[in-house]
Amino acid sequence: MKILVPLKRVADPDNANKVKVTAGKLDTTGMQWKPNPFDEYAVETALRLTENGASTKVRLGEVIVLTVGPKEAETQLRGALATGADRAIRIDATDDDLDGDVVARAIRAVVEKEKPDLILVGKQAVDGDSNQVGQLLAEYLGWPQATFAGTIKSEGDTALLVGREVDGGTLTLRVTLPAVVSVDLRIVAPTSVSSKHSPTHTYADGVRFAALMAIMAAKKKPMVEFKLSELVSDAAAKIAYTTHELPPPRKAGIKVKDVAELVDKLRNEARVV
Amino acid sequence: MIADASFLKSLFCGIIPESMAFPFPGPSRAEAEETLAILDTLKRFMRTVYEPQRGSLDSPISQEILTEAGSLGLFGLSLPRAYGGRQLSPTSFARILQELGALDPSLALIVRAHQTLGAHPLVRHGTVGQKARWLAKMASGQALAGYALTEESAGSDAAGVRTYARSEGTNWVLDGKKIWVTNGPIASVFTVFARTSPVEEGIKPKLTAFVIDRDDGIITNAGINMHGVRGVQVGTLLLENVHLDASRVLGTVGQGFMIAVETLNHARLASASAASGSARQLLDLSIRYARERAAFGRAIGDFGLIKDKIASMLSEVFALESMVFLTTGMLDGAGSDCSIESAACKVFGSEVLQRVAEGAGAIAAGRGFASGHAVERGLRDARHHLVLDGTNEVLRAFIALSGMQAPGRDLANVVKAMREPIKGFGLLGEFAVRKAKSALGRERLTRVHPLLNREVVLFEDYVSDLAKNAEKMLRRHGVAIAEMQYSQRRVADLAIDLYALAAVLSRTSRAIERRGEEGARREVDLACIFAASAEKRMAANVAGFDKNDDEQRKNAAARAYQDGAYPFELF
Ligand SMILES: Cc1cc2nc3c(=O)[nH]c(=O)nc-3n(C[C@H](O)[C@H](O)[C@H](O)COP(=O)(O)OP(=O)(O)OC[C@H]3O[C@@H](n4cnc5c(N)ncnc54)[C@H](O)[C@@H]3O)c2cc1C
């Protein structure tokens, strides 16, 4: 199975340098970057789906990671190559010029060249939280889609049984490949992903990490670059950001004496009851 | 060893080899990216493997965790690529050790002792056959390596080694006991230093290094209960009638002393790298606690005296980090001799960590006094840096005497001079001659950003003071300089502060160039704070050369030794 995984870099929320806003624009200087966690789950899912239980050395299929972003975003692609992806594609673009729609159209162009059997996306990126690219992409391609996958069972690599996380529990869908599937957090639980050729061991919870030798070897794996304009004729974003603002700092909490005071505050200050 | 290609050694002659320290070195983009990828893997390993399995941080790290660390590649970080290691540059290796020092000082010690103490002699002095036999196993972590020099009668003074290797034809038979071997209880290969000349009173032994497998008949004990770094197992090696063939001699017979010293020179920088990470970790804890803990209706961090502690910690950690990564940058490049610089890093690193841990203890107060609290453990873990890889007392003498010795001389001579002051002086005497000129540098510092002009003047003035006083001490004490530990300490402390200051000025200048004055505000502030505190210490040291109570202090101690105890009873 050939799987394409789009992967976005996001600002590392654990880093001390937080995003700043200067004159209504996002200022990302000095920030540390990491792969969007949901995209990492998608990479892990792709690796598990192409794992060969009979011989751990040879993958049954190919995992291609792709990003739309500046040169520096290759760091995150190489990270994915080190964990086991086979090759990488970067579509050169500056973050400011993108929205979910341009990204989806750019990926569609790559899909037409590469003809993967499956596109695995993270359900959303933890920076913009738009939750759009997977859905738009499926629509543009005219492919079936299943969003928020918590489990995936491959049926002979021609269809997938996808357990979708929905409000009421799990909704199981059968999608015929090729398809677009977006993944949620639980997809990286030890037994969430299976196929006929899965290895017999259960996985550690979470995503795998690269052994140090693999980090070095990843430098030799193929990485190709496209210009955005080579792939989409109209690269204009449909969403225009007029301004950015940081959320106001949280006020300190207060302690109330008793329930009566609480009710009073809720009614007269917060005006919620 | 090119003695003159040393930044610190040049300072001793009043010469500032600016191009060695400016611009502040850093890895290439590709190397930085790879190092960050390794750090990322390391953090994930800690979260998913280490933390769930670790249990009490005051018990030995389990074999399971060490095996996983081995398959990750942690034990081959600095070992040669040809044998399956990663052969990281000194800078990348230091950066990883720094992170390990922050995550768990015990794991940092296990990892660095294996590579920089246990395996390093083989990397530097092993034959192709010896390397093929052991290095691949060491790089994969399948075989941990120990370094066995210390004995009951030989701590700081390696010449006190009693373990004896008797030659039998081309073979060797070893008998003796080694103590304080890091990883001893779990290692399977050891570099053991034994005398290959018989014990003769007053005569320095010839030492020889041997590579010995556990299977050769080495008996190790279960390890001692230690005050700190309790995740590490440190224990005794017993060698009884251990038969070895000639293939086990590392280097040549009689070269052991040099190999032991050279290995320690190398290990010191690793100590400082790990210490810088541990210090950073304790500082971060303190910053968080100062913001959160409230007293008298405010966060304790609001009080001036807490701010003062945080500011001192920040400036010292900044200086230490700058010093370590200036040194690794020098090693990445032309391969200058950084043995004095590494010793300076080790002394400064262990003492900064000590002060930071004490500051963290003061800020955490009662909570930090509870057994098992991060700060309490931090204080205990910090202390091993003071002792291991040469005590700070011995290293101060080493820095001073190495800095003052004649050019082109081997470092082992310095140790000889410490042991045999009279004979040793010949080795040091030519110092004055080389004061004249050097192609390496000039007496001014020109590449520092003008914002730091005041600090530049300070640096230049004290470099000149260091050179003047080093020469004056040599003239004044002549033969006896090797015995003059008070003067040695002043010289060494001046040198350490000057080296730290050079590193801080270089790093801050780079920050200003990259991010402008406003963008580099934090660095500039810390540079000024560090310079001001270094100035106080340096002024006291310079004044102390001529006006001091050294003799009184010596006499007081001598009388106390005679008395055998504190001599007074109040009533
Ligand atoms: C955690 C840990 C791990 C260790 N791991 C190893 C290892 O893997 N391999 C190994 O071989 N050893 C190891 N050691 C031993 C360590 O190297 C020695 O403890 C160290 O060399 C000091 O020796 P000593 O303890 O005998 O102190 P001593 O030499 O007895 O020194 C006692 C005191 O006298 C001072 N002193 C000694 N000589 C002088 C002098 N000339 N001038 C001024 N002061 C002096 C010292 O600075 C110290 O303050 C380890 C130690 C520790 C604590």
Is there a domain that residue A65 lies in? yes
pLDDT exceeds 70 at position B1: no
Model confidence over B322-334: pLDDT tens digits?
Answer: 999 999 999 988 6
Residues B106-124 have a mean pLDDT of 98
Model confidence over B296-307: pLDDT tens digits?
Answer: 999 999 999 999
Please name the residue of chain A whose CA is at the shortest distance from the CA of residue B71: A211
- A79 in contact with chain B, both atoms CB, cutoff 8 A: yes
d(CA B545, CA A261): 72
**Which chain B residues have a beta carbon less than 8 Å from that of A207?**
44
B48/A204 Cβ within 8 A: yes
Average pLDDT score, chain A: 92
Is there a domain that residue A273 lies in? no
Say which range, A83-92, B351-360, B475-484, has the weakest mean pLDDT: B475-484
**Which chain B residues have a beta carbon less than 8 Å from that of A188?**
none
What is residue B416's predicted lDDT score, i.e. its pLDDT? 63
Closest of A91, A62, A90, A96 to residue A78, by C-alpha: A90
Is there a domain that residue A192 lies in? yes
Q: How confident is the model at residue A57 (pLDDT cuts 50, 70, 90)?
A: confident
Higher pLDDT, B2 or B96: B96
Residues A83-108 have a mean pLDDT of 94
Q: Determine phi and psi for A126, rounding to 5 degrees.
A: -80, 5
What is residue B439's predicted lDDT score, i.e. its pLDDT? 39
B37/A215 Cβ within 8 A: yes
Spatial neighbors of A25 by CB under 8 A, at least 6 apart, are A244
The Å distance, Cα B393 to ligand 1 centre, comes to 10
Atom of ligand 1 nearest to the CA of B183: 8
Residues A85-102 have a mean pLDDT of 94
Atom of ligand 1 nearest to the CA of B389: 17
Residue A222 sits in a domain of what CATH number?
3.40.50.620
Q: Which residue has the tokens 């001036």?
A: B304
The Å distance, Cα B182 to ligand 1 centre, comes to 13
What is residue B432's predicted lDDT score, i.e. its pLDDT? 41
Q: Which domain, by its residues, includes A161?
A: 2-268
**Which chain B residues have a beta carbon less than 8 Å from that of A216?**
34, 86
Which residue has the CA at smallest separation from atom 1 of ligand 1?
A: B384
pLDDT exceeds 50 at position A47: yes
Model confidence over B137-169: pLDDT tens digits?
Answer: 999 999 999 999 999 999 999 889 999 999 999
Model confidence over B357-414: pLDDT tens digits?
Answer: 999 999 999 999 999 999 999 999 999 999 999 999 999 999 999 998 754 454 455 5
- A78 in contact with chain B, both atoms CB, cutoff 8 A: yes
pLDDT exceeds 90 at position B447: yes
What is residue A28's predicted lDDT score, i.e. its pLDDT? 82
Quick check: B534 and B500 in contact, CB under 8 A? yes
B44/A215 Cβ within 8 A: no
Model confidence over B472-485: pLDDT tens digits?
Answer: 888 888 767 888 99
What is residue A173's predicted lDDT score, i.e. its pLDDT? 96
- A209 in contact with chain B, both atoms CB, cutoff 8 A: yes
A211/B73 Cβ within 8 A: yes
Local structure of residue A11 (DSSP, 8 states): E
Q: What pairing do the DSSP bridges indicate for beta strands A193-194 and B164-168?
A: unpaired
- A159 in contact with chain B, both atoms CB, cutoff 8 A: no
- B86 in contact with chain A, both atoms CB, cutoff 8 A: yes
- A215 in contact with chain B, both atoms CB, cutoff 8 A: yes
**Which chain B residues have a beta carbon less than 8 Å from that of A78?**
33, 37
What is residue A230's predicted lDDT score, i.e. its pLDDT? 92
pLDDT above 70 as % of chain A: 100
pLDDT exceeds 70 at position B555: yes
Is there a domain that residue A213 lies in? yes
Residues A82-99 have a mean pLDDT of 94
d(CA B392, CA B344): 9
A82/B74 Cβ within 8 A: no
Which residue has the CA at smallest separation from atom 24 of ligand 1?
A: B155
What is residue B418's predicted lDDT score, i.e. its pLDDT? 60
Model confidence over B419-444: pLDDT tens digits?
Answer: 554 444 444 445 444 444 443 445 78
What is residue A27's predicted lDDT score, i.e. its pLDDT? 84
The Å distance, Cα B268 to ligand 1 centre, comes to 14
Model confidence over A205-257: pLDDT tens digits?
Answer: 899 998 888 998 999 999 999 999 999 988 889 998 889 888 888 888 888 99
B positions 31-50 inside 8 Å of A (CB): 33-34, 36-38, 40-41, 44-45, 48
Residue B92 distance to chain A (closest CA, Å): 13
Q: What pairing do the DSSP bridges indicate for beta strands B234-244 and B189-195?
A: unpaired
The Å distance, Cα B316 to ligand 1 centre, comes to 25
pLDDT exceeds 60 at position B7: yes
Go through the domains of chain B in sequence order and give each one's CATH number: 29-140 (1.10.540.10), 145-253 (2.40.110.10), 393-546 (1.20.140.10)
Which residue has the CA at smallest separation from atom 40 of ligand 1?
A: B394
What is residue B415's predicted lDDT score, i.e. its pLDDT? 58
A213/B37 Cβ within 8 A: no
Count of domains forming chain A: 1
Atom of ligand 1 nearest to the CA of B113: 8
The shortest CB-CB distance from B71 to any of A34, A75, A211 is to A211
Residues B179-208 have a mean pLDDT of 91
The Å distance, Cα B342 to ligand 1 centre, comes to 18
What is residue A13's predicted lDDT score, i.e. its pLDDT? 79
Residues B90-115 have a mean pLDDT of 98
**Which chain A residues have a beta carbon less than 8 Å from that of B48?**
204-206, 209
Higher pLDDT, B269 or B419: B269
Which residue has the CA at smallest separation from atom 30 of ligand 1?
A: B155
Closest of B175, B281, B293 to residue B237, by C-alpha: B175
Q: B534-550 in b/e burial notation, b at 16+ Cβ within 10 A?
A: bbeebeebbebbeeeee
- B27 in contact with chain A, both atoms CB, cutoff 8 A: no
B73/A206 Cβ within 8 A: no
What is residue B195's predicted lDDT score, i.e. its pLDDT? 96
The Å distance, Cα B274 to ligand 1 centre, comes to 19
What is residue B480's predicted lDDT score, i.e. its pLDDT? 79
pLDDT exceeds 70 at position B247: yes
Residue A199 distance to chain B (closest CA, Å): 20
- A16 in contact with chain B, both atoms CB, cutoff 8 A: no
Closest of A63, A57, A68, A60 to residue A87, by C-alpha: A63
Residues B34-56 have a mean pLDDT of 92
**Which chain A residues have a beta carbon less than 8 Å from that of B73?**
211-213
Quick check: B466 and B14 in contact, CB under 8 A? yes
The shortest CB-CB distance from A75 to any of B33, B48, B71 is to B33
Model confidence over A162-195: pLDDT tens digits?
Answer: 999 999 899 999 999 999 999 999 999 999 999 9
The Å distance, Cα B184 to ligand 1 centre, comes to 17
d(CA B500, CA B321): 9
Angle between helix axes B392-404 and B453-477 (nearest 10 degrees) is 80
Run of H or E residues at A231: helix A228-231
| ipTM, 2 dp | 0.73
pLDDT exceeds 80 at position B487: yes
Is there a domain that residue A169 lies in? yes
Query: Which residues does a 6 A CB cutoff place in the pocket of ligand 1?
Result: B 113, 117, 147-150, 155-156, 180-182, 229, 234, 384, 387-388, 391, 393-394, 397, 418
Residue A264 distance to chain B (closest CA, Å): 27
**Which chain B residues have a beta carbon less than 8 Å from that of A223?**
none
The Å distance, Cα B199 to ligand 1 centre, comes to 21
**Which chain B residues have a beta carbon less than 8 Å from that of A205?**
48
The Å distance, Cα B93 to ligand 1 centre, comes to 25
Closest of B349, B319, B380, B330 to residue B97, by C-alpha: B349
What is residue B427's predicted lDDT score, i.e. its pLDDT? 47
- A223 in contact with chain B, both atoms CB, cutoff 8 A: no
What is residue B442's predicted lDDT score, i.e. its pLDDT? 56
d(CA B467, CA A30): 41
Say which range, A48-62, B435-449, B554-568, has the weakest mean pLDDT: B435-449
Residues B517-526 have a mean pLDDT of 95
A205/B74 Cβ within 8 A: no
Model confidence over B182-191: pLDDT tens digits?
Answer: 999 999 999 9
Our measurement of the distance from residue A263's CA atom to the centroid of its chain's CA atoms, rounded to an integer in Å, reads 43
Is there a domain that residue A146 lies in? yes
The Å distance, Cα B556 to ligand 1 centre, comes to 25
Quick check: A39 and A6 in contact, CB under 8 A? yes
Average pLDDT score, chain B: 91
Which residue has the CA at smallest separation from atom 39 of ligand 1?
A: B394
pLDDT exceeds 50 at position B96: yes
B33/A78 Cβ within 8 A: yes
Q: CA of B64: how far to CAs of B42, B73, B105, B209, B288, in Å?
A: 16, 14, 18, 31, 33
